[in-house]
Amino acid sequence: MPGEDPAEDDVLAGIDYSQPLNDLNAPGLRSFAAGQAEFAARWVPPFLSGGHWGRGPQSNAESCLSCHPGNGRGRAPDGPGEPPHSLVLRLAKPGTDEAGRPQPHPAYGTHLNRHGILGQLIEEGDFRVEYSKREVALADGSRVELRSPTVRLAALWYGPTGDDTTVSLRLAQPVFGLGLLEAVADSTILDLAEQQQRIGFNGRPNRVIDEATGEYMIGRFAHKASQPYLRHQVAAAFHDEMGVTSNLFPQEQCWPIQKACYRVERVIGVEARDEQLDSITDYLRLLAAPRQREMNDPLVRRGAGLFDKAKCSVCHVPELKTGSNAVHAQLRNRTIRPYTDLLLHDMGDGLADGRREFDAGGRDWRTPPLWGIGLRAMVNGNSELLHDGRARNVTEAILWHGGEADVSRQEFINMNEQDRRALLRFVESL
């Protein structure tokens, strides 16, 4: 049963998203604290005061923490009145380049930057999210309102994006427990995919390029599993979200039409040093996942059974083992309960964004881990879910499941009120 495995006590901790793994020694804790400070550090355009130099010329935020508050997820705006602070808008032209990366927009690149530099460079543009609403009826007659987002682009400085541009809204994801997910062996992920094939599901790993070596690896991180390992994800976040270059992504994001972008003052060499990437990567590796609560509540136990019965556990796999190759001993050969398979699934047209990222197609999303999900309102003050934050609670998130997960949605719709309540209680106990 959850929580009864002694090995688990080592990797699960506390009641929020900020705890280090339990068995860190003093040097481990010092490096954890140093990485935490870098994760919170403010970046400013060179040569302003008040932070590390190197943000921009274009960016969407000034620190990792500003989009991942409390190491949790971002917040989706309520409607067009609220600016999208921790929701990013990815842009692409149809198809991919020969390596499989999305095709950047010729004027705006891979995403829309909402910040330039005061007095030097205007921002690329802005956007707002509007929702259209509809009701879904459950088998027992109760009704649930779902909202689906539409993006309204505004103040586009380099002209309209064009009709064939795909836009994809991405909510900042929680960042705890990721060292353990990085430590799961490739063979475990491939085995899960094979097992699913045998029972009529189709989870597939993404295969993505490691920009450091040009080799392909299994993708694990970001909503379409387009990032192969944590250090890669950290460097990509610096580059894409904050305009901070590193040895992995040394080019500033200026596109040929953006003449003024090339004239902005620059730091000589890369902006985030290797040690800074390492420090944040280590911090993320050592951040524990919260342990499950209320395991012995009869309703929660019943919900756990229904989670299996509704086939949720096919994709949200309760238990995985980490392999033996992690840098940190604490991450090796652990039993973890992340509720993910790290695989891509076709989730149907309702959730599709039409954007390809390597082997992930327009309807594919990586199964998000569910550990810690019940603490999101406490940590982040909001409870939005799914890749763009459209779901306002777990019920709505389940009702958006389509494609391969349509069976689970149907099971949920057909449950009586008591069973639904038990399932939801279980999910919120994670």
Using the minimum distance from each CB to ligand HEC, give the nearer residue, 263 or 414: 414
Cβ within 8 Å of residue 214, ≥6 positions away: none
Using the minimum distance from each CB to ligand HEC, give the nearer residue, 276 or 330: 276
Candidate residues 32, 229, 358, 365; the one interacting with ligand HEC per rule CB under 6 A:
365
Stretch that binds ligand HEC, among 57-65, 76-84, 135-143, 261-269 (CB under 6 A): 57-65
Using the minimum distance from each CB to ligand HEC, give the nearer residue, 60 or 245: 60
How many of the chain's residues bind ligand HEC (CB under 6 A)? 50
Run of H or E residues at 136: strand 126-137
Quote the DSSP letter at residue 53.
E
- The least CB distance from residue 340 to ligand HEC, in Å, is 9
What track of x and - describes contact with ligand HEC for positions 196 through 235 (by CB under 6 A)? -----x-------------------xxx---------xx-
Stretch that binds ligand HEC, among 5-13, 137-145, 149-157, 363-371 (CB under 6 A): 363-371
- The least CB distance from residue 6 to ligand HEC, in Å, is 27
The burial class, CB within 10 Å (0-12 / 13-18 / 19+), for 41 is: middle
**Is residue 175 within the footprint of ligand HEC (CB under 6 A)?**
yes
What track of x and - describes contact with ligand HEC for positions 61 through 90 (by CB under 6 A)? x--x-xxx-----------------x-x--
Packing angle of the helix pair 26-40, 274-286 (nearest 10 deg) = 110
Which has the closest alpha carbon to 412: 427, 399, 428? Answer: 399
Task: State the DSSP string of 176-213.
Answer: SSHHHHHTS-HHHHHHHHHHHHHTT---B-EEEE-TTT
Q: Which two tokens stand for residue 171?
A: 């909510």
**Is residue 412 within the footprint of ligand HEC (CB under 6 A)?**
yes
**Is residue 238 within the footprint of ligand HEC (CB under 6 A)?**
yes
Gap between the Cα atoms of 215 and 186, Å rounded: 15
* Amino acid letter, residue 347: M
Candidate residues 116, 243, 368, 374; the one interacting with ligand HEC per rule CB under 6 A:
368
Which has the closest alpha carbon to 17: 382, 282, 375? Answer: 375
Using the minimum distance from each CB to ligand HEC, give the nearer residue, 46 or 303: 303
Cβ within 8 Å of residue 5, ≥6 positions away: 335
Strand locations in 138-180 (E): 143-154, 166-171
How far CA 296 is from CA of 123, 301, 304, 374, 427, in Å, comes to 52, 7, 11, 16, 14
Using the minimum distance from each CB to ligand HEC, give the nearer residue, 60 or 161: 60
Using the minimum distance from each CB to ligand HEC, give the nearer residue, 266 or 309: 309
Using the minimum distance from each CB to ligand HEC, give the nearer residue, 71 or 258: 71
Using the minimum distance from each CB to ligand HEC, give the nearer residue, 60 or 429: 60
Coil, strand or helix: which one is 117?
strand
Gap between the Cα atoms of 29 and 140, Å rounded: 52
Q: Which two tokens stand for residue 338?
A: 């992340």
Candidate residues 55, 170, 231, 232; the one interacting with ligand HEC per rule CB under 6 A:
170
Candidate residues 161, 246, 395, 408; the one interacting with ligand HEC per rule CB under 6 A:
408
Quote the DSSP letter at residue 388.
T
Cβ within 8 Å of residue 258, ≥6 positions away: 107, 124, 158
What track of x and - describes contact with ligand HEC for positions 281 through 320 (by CB under 6 A)? ---x-------------------------xxx-xxx----
Other Cβ atoms within 10 Å of 155 Cβ, number: 11
List contacts with ligand HEC (CB under 6 A).
60-61, 64, 66-68, 86, 88, 170, 172-173, 175, 178, 201, 221-223, 233-234, 237-238, 241-242, 280, 284, 310-312, 314-316, 345, 347, 351, 365, 367-368, 370, 385-387, 394, 397-398, 401, 404-405, 408, 412, 427
